[in-house]
A and B are shown apart, each in its own frame.
Chain A
Amino acid sequence: MSPAQYWHCFVGIQTREWLRFWQQRTRFASALVRPLLWLVVFAAGFRAVLGISIIPPYDTYITYETYIAPGLCGMIILFNSMQGALSMVYDRELGSMRVLLMSPLPRPFLLVTKLLAMGVVSVGQVYVFLVLALLVDVEPPLWGYLAVLPALVLTSLMLGALGLLIATWIKQLENFAGVMNFVIFPMFFMSSALYPLWRMNEASPWLYWICQFNPFTHAVEAIRFSLYLEWNPMAYGITAAITVVLTLLATAGFRPQRTRILGTKPA
């Protein structure tokens, strides 16, 4: 297959994802309600009890809304990636996956392109969220919106690959409720999305270390730092390395027979 054929395939998969997004735009809009509730309601209540000292990348005192906005960007991607990965192998996307896997192009390429396409739609939602966040005075520098893009794409690929890995190999987590309880919430709460890790360290050192080992923490920090035009090589490096490992594991270990893609119950 020629590079042009790879390109047509890549564009085709991206286009289809955007067409679906457009068809289901009300569903995607409603998916923004969750992070907005966190930003407007939860943060308003929480700011009274949690003071934020000056910590990098911020150079002054910030509101709690400003602190959790990057974590909520991560949350949008986290929910979308898990939901998307599950639907790829268990329900809504089954037909599309059958068609996808009939392509003569290599499967790892097809799967990564599909994960990226779903991720790009998530990134679009994050930008809508960031625009709405301006209403509660979350105002990162203008260039931050551009600088954060690679971190958002990387995070979406990392979490998409994780979702695909889980959906393929952990039968007990084939429904969204299971994934929410055992993957999404633990990853979200045991990270730096809602509270700075130094605070966590004061409260419980072992919890602090769990947060440090949580890849979502580093993804959120990569988003936070780049949104405020600061370079955080550790957060970026860890996120990139984990993305590579998870993507390799998810694509190399992908087995349609462990899913419902064949149309039967998983063996």
Chain B
Amino acid sequence: MTIEARNLSFRYGDEPVLKEVSFALTPGHFHALLGPNGAGKSTLFGLLTRLLALQQGDVLMAGQSLKRQPSEAMRKIGVVFQQNALDLDLTVRQNLMYHGALHGLSRKLARARGDRELERFGLLDRADDPVRKLNGGHRRRVEIARALLHQPSLLLLDEPTVGLDVASRRALNDHVRTLCEEDGLTVLWATHLIEEVRPDDHVLILHQGQLLANGSGRAICEAEGARDLAETFEALTGAAP
């Protein structure tokens, strides 16, 4: 599914947070949205997920406008938020079933799909545990399993590794890449950690609300005459990654 953001601008009061941001995501690929804290990543995610109303520009998902056909567009998106969005008191399965219901799935179908996702994530034996009992890495996996329950084409992850240790961060990152390869899922992974990005990834660098780079990591480095992404990032934003 093609995803295209066109001329997205957003301001909180008089303060512009995003300025004329346009990009297209390639179906079935991993895209990294890099930017220092305050770059506008969460605002961009807010717009893509409709938590913020579009002020200027539009987002097209398989040609369908987020502005004009929000319902159709939202069916195609799975989201993992920066902050925990699981109900800690409920079990893993209850959380998944709630999400399934919100997407109009019957209890039977939601349960079947939930169990299948949990099995894929190696968490089926924890299905009846309260989320509170899970460690941070497992909670993140449950959130991804939940985001995939309604079989979206686009998975948005807003700094999903915040608060995780290095090993869990790497495992999660690898896992999402596998989903891209196996399921043909399009992924937009927002992060400020350069080590989560690989040279062949499609990279979007956002700084002070502007998109400074948009292309493969390698191509961006070459264009900047930099040795690696860290150097490119520093040259473009003036901030150490």
Contacts and interface: CB of A to CB of B under 8 A. Distances in A.
Q: Do A and B come from one complex?
A: yes
Interface of A: 1-2, 4-6, 8-9, 11-13, 15-16, 19-20, 23-24, 94-96, 98-106, 110, 255-257, 261-264, 267
Interface of B: 12-13, 42, 46, 49-53, 70-72, 74-75, 77, 79, 81-87, 89-90, 94, 97-107, 146
B87 A98 contact: no
Contacts of B85: 94-96, 98-99
5 closest pairs, A vs B, by CB? A12-B101, A5-B104, A95-B85, A103-B102, A104-B74
Q: Choose among A6, A16, A99, A106 the residue with the greatest number of B CB atoms under 10 Å from its CB.
A: A99
Contacts, number: 111
A210 B14 CA distance: 40
B106 A263 contact: no
Contacts of A263: 42, 81-83
Contacts of B98: 12-13, 15-16, 96, 99
B101 A9 contact: yes
Contacts of B77: 102
Contact of A257 (B46, B71, B102): B46
A13 B12 CA distance: 32
B71 A20 contact: no
Contacts of A256: 46, 51-52
A264 B41 CA distance: 12
Nearest to B11: A267
Contacts of B46: 256-257, 262
Contacts of A4: 104, 106
Contacts of B83: 94-95, 98, 263
A8 B105 contact: yes
Contact of B53 (A1, A103, A255): A255
A11 B108 CA distance: 13
A262 B52 contact: yes
Contacts of A105: 71, 102, 104
21 contacts: A5-B103, A5-B104, A8-B105, A12-B97, A15-B98, A15-B101, A19-B90, A23-B90, A94-B83, A94-B85, A98-B51, A98-B79, A99-B146, A101-B51, A102-B49, A102-B79, A104-B72, A257-B46, A263-B82, A263-B83, A267-B12
Given A101-B50, A256-B52, A257-B52, A96 B87 contact: yes
A41 B89 CA distance: 35
A256 B90 CA distance: 24
Contact of B104 (A2, A16, A101): A2
A68 to B, nearest CB: 34
Contacts of B97: 12, 15
Given A1-B104, A16-B87, A98-B83, 11 more contacts: A4-B104, A12-B98, A16-B90, A19-B94, A95-B81, A95-B85, A96-B87, A98-B85, A100-B102, A101-B49, A262-B46
Which of A11, A98, A106 is packed against the most chain B CB atoms within 10 Å?
A98
Contacts of B86: 95
Contact of B101 (A13, A104, A257): A13
Nearest to A263: B83
Contacts of B71: 1, 104-106
Contacts of A16: 87, 90, 94, 98, 101
